[in-house]
Chain A
Amino acid sequence: MSNMITVKNMCLWYGEHQALKNINVSIPEKSITAFIGPSGCGKSTFLKSLNRMNDLIQGVRITGDILYNGKNIFDSSVDVNELRREVGMVFQKPNPFPMSIYDNIAYGPRTHGIKNKAKLDDIVECSLRDAAIWEEVKDRLKKNALGLSGGQQQRLCIARALAVKPAVLLMDEPTSALDPISTSKIEELSMKLKENYTIIMVTHNMQQAVRISDQTAFFLLGELIEYGNTETLFSTPKDKRTEDYITGRFG
């Protein structure tokens, strides 16, 4: 399995405050990587750096390299919109646009210039099918997406992310606002999606990381303390701080 994202000596500051310290990590393609750690440890900041979402925050300064498919994403030749198309994002709280289910999915492809109705229909159906929600919404595509349940809205957001054909999906606590059944649907969906996509997920639910991820990275106070195979990290962690965190001794 080759590496989709390679991060070298990356540091990030919010003004004077250093939020990430010398991060080095390689994320393999077509797998699920979980980021865990206590609140404020830098895991979400790091996740958002991977498609340059932090560019939108004032006072952020980054050093080091983030290579996506071997190319530095901070290179001046990189089109940030194209990067964000390839490295999509799903947020903690489902955030459908206040428009129909169909238009939510078609929004991205339309902004990328696809106008053909038949082609859009095809993209909408494929994306909703891939996000395991097609059967539930196929008869009400013209209804407002805000009428869906929380779990359905989150899968709709995943479908919306898939509609622009990304290679990587960044998920920031995608199930923390969902009930157990919706959570389990998203987890199953993630495991299916990793056949075709590289998934990187921030989660506070450690059992979720154990259940679905292939690799886990443990962050603490802006440092990447330990990174490796999930089963190994949760059964025989190498660093005492990892052991103390995952066994609930702090955090």
Chain B
Amino acid sequence: MRSKFDEQLALLNKEMIEMGALCEEIISRVLKALTEEDGQLLHGISSLGPEIDQKERTIETLCLKLLLQQQPVAKDLRQISAALKMITDMERIGDQAEDIAEIVPFVKNRPQTVDTLLHEMAEASIKMVTESVDAFVGRDIGLAKKVIKDDDIVDNYFTLIKQALISGIVDNPKDGECSIDLLMIAKYFERIGDHATNIAEWVVFSVTGIHKEG
């Protein structure tokens, strides 16, 4: 009776997975560019941004069409409204990754401590994004709640990096500009963690009907 609707919902799911995969791809490339200092990798990033934006438009259009044609209720309504909210966060993740990519060429002389912390922080935030998308795909509340909890880990890395950078500036004031760029990168990763948290909160809403913010 509702096979067409189910087909459209399956398509929405597929598009969401693809957008999530693009987000994972862009931040993984940013991390690699940061590690390998490879200009070619940065070039690849600039093409992924518009691809993510296009995906957001496609999903928006599909959701509006579903709202109009199917007048969804209950689980269907929650899935579609959650998707509409989640793509905004996914698109912002893409933007933050692009912002990091713009700064990477200017942070070549990084103190070892900060470099290690930054890599760990980047990996933790990428994991959050991956798991938030996995939670959506599998309608896995347990995993979504883990992502929400893991935001504290990323936030903690930000504090550690900030402290390390402050010490660095005290010891070598001439490295101040590079330190501020590194702090910006850390802040962008911290924001990526926040967006992954938002996605996870919408996954919880989509499954249970309850959103953390009330």
Contact B74 A249 (CB under 8 A): no
A interface bracket (residues with beta carbon within 8 Å of B): 10 to 19
In the complex, whether A206 has a CB less than 8 A from a CB of chain B is: yes
Interface stretch among A22-30, A100-108, A231-239?
A231-239
Q: Please, what's the 1-or-0 string for B3-25, where 1 marks a CB less than 8 Å from any CB in chain A? A: 00100000000000000000000
Q: Is B181 on the interface with A (CB-CB < 8 A)?
A: no
Q: Is B1 an interface residue (CB 8 A)?
A: yes
A246 located at the interface, meaning its Cβ lies under 8 Å from any Cβ of chain B in the complex: yes
Is A249's CB under 8 angstroms from B1's CB?
yes
How many angstroms between the C-alpha atoms of A247 and B78 in the bound complex?
12
Among B73, B78, B209, B210, point to the contact of A206 (Cβ < 8 A): B73
Across the interface, do A210 and B73 meet the contact criterion of CB distance under 8 Å?
yes
Neighbour of A236 across the interface among B2, B5, B71, B209, CB < 8 A: B209
Tell me the complex Cα distance, A235–B1, Å. 21
Asked if B168 is an interface residue, CB under 8 A from chain A, the answer is no
Contact B75 A243 (CB under 8 A): yes
CB nearest to A234 among chain B residues: B73
Evaluate contact between A247 and B71: CB separation under 8 angstroms. no
Interchain CA distance A250-B2 in the complex, whole Å = 9
Inter-chain contacts of B1 with A (CB < 8 A) = 248-250
How far is A246 from B74 in the complex, measured between Cα atoms in Å?
8
Residue of A nearest to B78 (CB): A235
Number of interface residues of B (CB under 8 A): 14
Give the tally of cross-chain contacts (CB within 8 A).
34
Asked if B2 and A249 sit within 8 Å, CB to CB, the answer is: yes
Interface set of A (CB-CB < 8 Å, partner B):
206-207, 210, 234-237, 242-243, 246-250
Q: Which residues of A contact B5 (CB under 8 A)?
A: 248
Given contacts A234-B77, A246-B73, A248-B2, 11 further A-B contacts (CB under 8 A): A234-B74, A235-B77, A235-B78, A236-B208, A242-B74, A243-B74, A243-B75, A246-B74, A247-B72, A249-B1, A250-B1
Q: Closest CB of chain A to B172's CB: distance in Å? A: 57
A interface footprint on B168-212 (CB within 8 Å = 1, 0 otherwise): 000000000000000000000000000000000000000011100
In the bound assembly, the distance between CA atoms of A46 and B78 in angstroms comes to 32
B-side contacts of A249, CB under 8 Å: 1-2
The residue in chain B whose Cβ has the minimal distance to the Cβ of A244 is B74
Set of chain B residues within 8 Å of A246, measured between Cβ atoms: 73-74
Say how far B5's CB is from chain A's closest CB, in angstroms.
7
Q: Across the two chains, which residue of chain A brings its CB closest to B208?
A: A236
CB distance from B38 to the nearest CB of A (A): 48
Q: List 12 A-B contacts (CB under 8 A).
A: A234-B73, A234-B74, A234-B77, A235-B73, A235-B209, A236-B208, A242-B74, A243-B74, A246-B73, A248-B2, A248-B5, A249-B2
